[in-house]
Chains A and B, each alone.
Chain A
Amino acid sequence: MTSSADSSSWPLWEVFIRSSRGLSHVHAGSLHAPDATMAIRNARDLYTRRNEGTSVWVVPAAAIMASDPDSKGAYFESAQGKSYRHATYYTQSEGVKHL
């Protein structure tokens, strides 16, 4: 390669798009860019060529912390064992209106 400043040595950014007002930003993909300003511009060109967005977030990929994929089962288990957190757990009120 002829260049030491290859675009791939630009940091990786994760791109989040709000598709329309009233909705959350959703992860769209990632890209490389030298800084936040360029990352936003590139994200617009790459992920919103057909009115897919009304707002763009870019986040340095290195700044995202994630849960450990290997401890998946155990980590999310406590929520699973607690069906009483869901309305469907309560059946006595069946047939009673607006409840």
Chain B
Amino acid sequence: MSPENHQHAPLHLADEGDAATALAEAEAGQHRFDELIAEDSRIEPRDWMPESYRKSLVRQVSQHAHSEIIGMQPEGNWISRAPSLKRKAILMAKVQDEAGHGLYLYSAAETLGRPREEMYDQLYSGKAKYSSIFNYPARTWADIGAIGWLVDGAAIVNQVPLCRASYGPYGRAMVRICKEESFHQRQGWEILYSLSHGTEAQHQMAQDAVDRFYGPALQMFGPPDGDSPNSQQSMEWKIKRFTNDELRQRFVDMLVPQVEALGLTLPDPELKWNEERGHYDFGDLDWDEFFAVIKGNGPLSRQRLEHYRKARDEGAWVREAAVAYANHQAQGRDRDQAALIGA
């Protein structure tokens, strides 16, 4: 295992003396951890950290990774039907980026001591959670625009503060990801812009896509602050820097001028500028639907999982062949070396 991928060896307590030493070590560790968090420094893989911090990070980072991987499906589905070669090349590049994001994040989670295989298995078995937005279908080409603009847009607002997350490998993965995301959002916006300025039918298609993705995209920030029990602890640990509602507000404020530039509207009659607050007010979201989708009752929850399993099963022979080839090559090297020594 590498320096990035080392966990503390479990403490085997042989006698009272060892127990006392372990306790002293844990106390010193906690003290150092608190210090690092207080001075806004970073926690690195081999540092002592509270078990609850480790667990909470593994959950967040692996769920984030799963979301990137499942997130390839709605868009991947349109690669073969993109309206031009240029659009197709762009979409392929974007989907490839999302695969990369998943891999950066799995690597980060692995540094916390969670084996890669275990994370894959959890997604495969349906035990793992991922962002509920990806359980909605991409029905038209305009949806690809709405996904880039709204879904990647919300992801950016969420991810920029995560670049400063207290856990080093997570923050570093997010820096890499954020650099790549801005193209994702812009290409989506441009798809919508072209459609919005096309024929009446195309304009309608763009508006319809925005109408369907707006609410679910706003829900990507998670439930309202009152219903988000883990947020407080996560903010104290400086993993999270802003609350769900703060980020949601920031996103809405950004969207209004952008939708005007598109020549489209947002599907919320209550949306209006509040001079006093210096922010846009917006209407309630459908949280019953949100929790239903999280529980696995999204429009495409079943299909997303089935597709993941199929891809994984059908790729198994490739992974096996690669191992067989690597072993064969290594044996060949051993034989050559033995021959040289013999000569």
Interface residues of B in 310-337 (CB under 8 A from A): 312-313, 316, 319-320, 322-326, 329-330
B1 within 8 A of A: yes
How many Å from the CB of B193 to the closest CB on chain A? 24
Whether the pair B4, A30 counts as a contact (CB closer than 8 A) is: yes
Which one, A14, A45, A66, contacts B6 given CB within 8 A? A66
User: In whole angstroms, what is the CA distance A62 to B120 when docked?
Assistant: 22
B263 within 8 A of A: no
Whether the pair A61, B5 counts as a contact (CB closer than 8 A) is: yes
Interface Cβ pair total, 8 Å cutoff: 92
- In the complex, residue of chain A having the shortest beta-carbon distance to the beta carbon of B3: A66
Whether the pair B107, A29 counts as a contact (CB closer than 8 A) is: yes
Whether the pair B116, A46 counts as a contact (CB closer than 8 A) is: no
Most A C-beta atoms less than 10 A away, residue of B6, B110, B173, B326: B326
User: In whole angstroms, what is the CA distance A54 to B110 when docked?
Assistant: 27
* One of B96-104, B129-137, B184-192, B235-243 at the interface: B96-104
Which one, B25, B46, B103, B325, contacts A34 given CB within 8 A? B325
Contacts A12-B5, A61-B1; A7 near B319 (Cβ below 8 A):
yes
Whether the pair B120, A14 counts as a contact (CB closer than 8 A) is: no
A40 within 8 A of B: no
Whether the pair B5, A6 counts as a contact (CB closer than 8 A) is: no
16 A-B interface contacts by CB (under 8 A): A2-B316, A8-B115, A12-B1, A29-B104, A29-B173, A30-B5, A30-B110, A31-B103, A34-B325, A35-B330, A46-B103, A49-B100, A61-B1, A69-B44, A69-B47, A70-B48
Contacts A6-B319, A38-B322, A62-B1; A49 near B107 (Cβ below 8 A):
no
Contacts A12-B5, A64-B3; A46 near B100 (Cβ below 8 A):
yes
Give 8 closest A-B pairs by Cβ, nearest first. A61-B2, A66-B3, A8-B117, A3-B316, A5-B320, A69-B46, A35-B326, A8-B116
Whether the pair A14, B4 counts as a contact (CB closer than 8 A) is: yes
How many Å from the CB of A16 to the closest CB on chain B? 12
How many Å from the CB of A44 to the closest CB on chain B? 12
Chief secondary structure at chain B's binding surface: helix
B121 within 8 A of A: yes
Most B C-beta atoms less than 10 A away, residue of A1, A34, A35, A66: A34
Q: 1/0 contact trace for A43-69 toward B, CB 8 Å?
A: 001100110000000000110101001
Whether the pair B120, A6 counts as a contact (CB closer than 8 A) is: yes
A91 within 8 A of B: no
Chief secondary structure at chain A's binding surface: mixed
Q: Which residues of B contact A31 (CB under 8 A)?
A: 103, 107
How many Å from the CB of A38 to the closest CB on chain B? 6
Whether the pair A10, B107 counts as a contact (CB closer than 8 A) is: no
Q: Which residues of B contact A61 (CB under 8 A)?
A: 1-2, 4-5
Q: Which residues of B contact A93 (CB under 8 A)?
A: none
Additional A-B contact list (14), CB under 8 Å, known A9-B117, A50-B180, A62-B2 = A3-B316, A3-B320, A5-B323, A8-B115, A8-B116, A8-B120, A14-B2, A29-B104, A29-B172, A31-B107, A35-B330, A38-B322, A46-B103, A49-B180
A32 within 8 A of B: yes
Which one, A8, A49, A66, contacts B46 given CB within 8 A? A66
User: In whole angstroms, what is the CA distance A38 to B172 when docked?
Assistant: 24
Q: 1/0 contact trace for B16-56 toward A, CB 8 Å?
A: 00000000010000000000000000001011100000000
Q: Which residues of A contact B120 (CB under 8 A)?
A: 1, 6, 8
Most A C-beta atoms less than 10 A away, residue of B3, B313, B324: B3
- In the complex, residue of chain A having the shortest beta-carbon distance to the beta carbon of B176: A29
